[in-house]
Amino acid sequence: MHVTLVAAGSRGDVQPLVALGRGLLSAGSAARVVALEPFRSLVENAGLEFAPLGGDPRRFIDEAGIGSMRSGRNIVNFLRRHRRVAQAVYGRLLPKVWEATEDTDAVGFGTLTIMAYPLADARGLPRFAVPLQPITRSRAYPSLTVPQAWGRFGSTFNLATHRVDELLHWVAVRGAVTAGIRKMIGSDPFPRLGPYGTIYADERFPFLYGISPTVFRRPSDWPPWHVLTGFWFLDDPGELPPPVEAFLAAGPPPVYVGFGSLPTRDPTATARALIDGVRRVGRRVILLRGWGGLDEVASDVLVVDEVPHQRLFPRIAAIVHHGGAGTTAAALRAGRPQVVVPHFADQPFWAEQTRRLGVAPAPIRPRHLDAARLADALREALSPQVRQRAAEIAERIGAEDGTARAAAAIGRLLDHRDADEA
């Protein structure tokens, strides 16, 4: 069988789906990953087919308005931002997805692309969702678009946040998504009030979450076909660059600081605050430059671009990051304490999960980030209790094989399709 995975977004969105593609390959299926052009080598080096979305990931993220999501919760601004998301994402993405699904047997949609499922339907293809963060409506937790502390208001309130979030998102993206799909299939593919009720009620549209059940407990009110398979890790990432190896060998384990593809308003000030905070606890720093432009030159600081988390994180004392799904999963797997500075989207959710698990202190809000607060958080993170807890969680995650479980579930979906056709 041949499976196409649609992985729009930054590396944190793409790499887990590449890992899933590798799992499909090991299970005997061919796999294609649809992603932005800069990730071609990541996909092809994993032995998978690549289909380009085109464009630069930083421009893609910026145009989608992610950088502006740190602003307030004004409803008008919310809708404007999401319209920009729809125009930036779906305007480019839908025609490319349509092309990439011409010669495949099934399609898996990532979080940003789930609404493209009518394209698979128009081709008569089985489809499934492969989200990296919990988006299914539930009474057990609030929508990821609101502070997770709001969960204290109870189950009815939690469910209401999901429904309101669905409505607002649909109002914002309906025009761009509907128009884009209509151009290719010739009809309006969605119910008038949006697709969410249809999606969640359709057992032929399974949601296979690349999330560890050790980290997030599956809510009992999810549909049975929405499952947690475990994290999807891409192994064999290559060796660490020689400068990184030399820096690690030159002293005790440093603290890793990286905010991934997150744009930073004042990179110089942010870098200085982060480095100063780490120095206050007597540690050296490996600083990820990232798209935010963080940079610094000093004997106790090494600035890097991309390094394989699987190789680096087990040799780090603690990990300071933004709370992206991929970085959080890698840090948990490495068994290292964390300090999370979440900015938007699913990052506050992952920050809360790490705090709840006992592998990180309470998260630091970006506007409160300074050297003193970071130093205090690192002292807590580096305590024996937190280090022990991080090691325990890592052992449990290490016993899971999310990639194999997800690949097996996809295989069952395709077998079921074949049985129905027979």
Residue-wise pLDDT for 110-146, tens only, equals: 988 898 999 999 999 999 999 999 999 999 999 998 8
Radius of gyration, alpha carbons of the chain: 21
Say what the pLDDT of residue 158 is.
Answer: 96
CB-count burial class (<10 Å; 0-12, 13-18, 19+) for 414? middle
3-state secondary structure 323-354: CCHHHHHHHHHHCCCEEECCCCCCHHHHHHHH
**Residue whose entry in the numeric block shows the structure tokens 């930083």:** 58
Q: Is the pLDDT of residue 197 over 80?
A: yes
Q: Is the pTM of this model over 0.75?
A: yes
Average pLDDT over residues 247-276: 83
Task: Indicate the pLDDT class of residue 373, thresholds 50, 70 and 90.
Answer: very high
Give the pLDDT of residue 69.
43
pLDDT in tens, 164-196: 989 888 888 888 889 889 999 998 888 888 899
Q: How far is CA 341 from the centre of its chain?
A: 15
- What domains can you pick out in the chain, each with its CATH number? 2-231+401-421 (3.40.50.2000), 242-398 (3.40.50.2000)
CA nearest neighbour of 377 among 244, 283, 248: 283
pLDDT tens digits for range 87-103: 666 777 889 999 999 99
Q: What is the mean pLDDT of residues 322-349?
A: 92
Give the pLDDT band of residue 212 (cuts 50, 70, 90): very high
- Fill in the amino acid letter for 310: Q
CA 386, CA 392: separation in Å to the nearest integer?
Answer: 10
Please say if the pLDDT value at position 419 is more than 90: no
Q: Which two tokens stand for residue 61?
A: 């993220």
Q: Which two tokens stand for residue 359?
A: 């592998």
* Contacts for 280 with CB less than 8 Å, ≥ 6 apart: 371, 372, 374, 375, 378
Q: Confidence band (pLDDT; 50, 70, 90) for 417?
A: low
Closest CA to 278 of 182, 188, 374: 374
364 in Cβ contact with 373 (< 8 Å): yes
Q: Is the pLDDT of residue 68 over 60?
A: no
Task: Give the pLDDT of residue 76.
Answer: 62
pLDDT recorded at residue 263: 58
